[in-house]
Amino acid sequence: MWRRLSQIVVKVRRRHGFDCSGSASSGFPTAAGAQSKSDKTTTATMPSLSEKDQLAWASVPWTSVVDEESGKVLGWRKSQVPYIPGGVDNSGLSLQTLDVWLPASGTPGYATPQAPDAPSLPSQSGHWIVYIHGGAWRDPMIDASSFSPTAINLLQAAASSFSKGSVPIAGVASLNYRLSPHPNHPTGGRDPNREARHPDHISDVLGGLAFLQRLGGATGSWLLSGHSCGATLAFQAVMAPSRWGLDTAIVKPTVIVGLNGLYDLAGFITMPPPEYAGLRDAYEEFTRGAFGDDKTVWKDACPATADDWTSEWQEGKQVVLAQSREDSLVPYAQLEKMGAYLSKSSSLNIREMEAGGDHDDIWKKGDRLAEILYDVVSGLM
């Protein structure tokens, strides 16, 4: 079903202006009553689009995503759109950016495809899917573009659905965020993109989501997914921002898809499952790099430690936890801990899925991940 595609630049649009414990537990019950909370709608009021936002959005052209086999335009992409216009202190950091893909099937002019020509996102039916990459808060080789194989598969699936009637995807986005220093990063010297410490990562994620929402994306019922530490960040994004000393209001997603996620760092470091004990020092190193030396901060930052998920995330309906049993970096016990925690403290509908392969295979290949995400958003129709 998933065909191989290539992404090429067809036209450049005008540019305006500047230019948690790791000990194993066995499974968890699936809570049934997700429906009642859905009535509580999100109250975050979205500020309108500022001139700076519009300039930031327009500073990156749309490029077309073309199906290699049929030559058909599947959709449109903007790469590295600055979401905090000007960046921190006006420095325009390259990791405070996001990538966006729109299915052509949902945009005006699908018959004779033209890039969307609007100061903000076109309004489309369907749901938004947003992705937060992993890499232990520090890996320089993993970024928003790591989601490309999955995004392209999603556009392909959207095109197939269009021919049958309705498209469940309104748009797709993948977030960059500032990283913590990596011991082996080749750039050397100081890089303000790589000096982040908690809560900088989650602050950027919330900033990126707020920007996307000011543009009209990812509102209503939408899906937030994250891989590894990106899954940690996805759950942090629906926790009260005041926990992180922040006040960035977002419309929270209704669904989270956590992939090979880290949910209980403190638990892992204190007592890793025996087969993963050799990774304890590595976990401690990247945890200190991301959160500092205070162990209470590690614990408080872990989503498996929120005591009441119902009040924490009132808009929440569904959580999909996908984890591979062959993951050489993250033990299955992390999923079990998170699932048990969520089912104990919420009425969320929780699904457990097999991700398959090693830790990073799911996003490197993209087909299985697209299938999971497509299946979940289709269920939201």
Ligand X SMILES: N[C@@H](CC(=O)c1ccccc1NC=O)C(=O)O
- The residues that touch ligand X, with contacts defined as CB under 6 A, are 134-136, 138-139, 228-229, 262, 282, 286, 329-330
For ligand X, the closer of residues 111 and 141 by Cβ is: 141
Q: State the chain's maximal CA–CA distance in angstroms.
A: 58
Q: 232 φ, ψ to 5°?
A: -60, -50
Of 55, 210, 226, 247, the closest CA to residue 130 belongs to 226
Q: How far, CA to CA in Å, does 31 sit from each of 10, 170, 322, 341? A: 48, 28, 17, 11
Q: Which is nearer to ligand X, 167 or 330 (CB)?
A: 330
Closest distance to ligand X from the beta carbon of 327 (Å) = 9
- The answer to whether the beta carbons of residues 146 and 168 sit under 8 Å apart is no
User: Which residue number, 246 or 329, has a Cβ lying nearer to ligand X?
Assistant: 329
> Which residues are catalytic, by number?
228, 327, 359
**Minimal distance in Å, beta carbon 341 to ligand X?**
19
**Reduced DSSP (H G I as helix, E B as strand, rest coil) percent helix, strand, coil of the chain, to 5:** 35, 15, 50
For residues 136 and 169, which CB has a smaller minimum distance to ligand X in the complex? 136
84 vs 298: CA distance, rounded Å: 27
Q: Are 262 and 330 in contact (CB under 8 A)?
A: yes
262/82 Cα distance (integer angstroms): 27
Minimal distance, residue 22 CB to ligand X, in Å: 12
CB of 151 to ligand X, least distance (A): 19
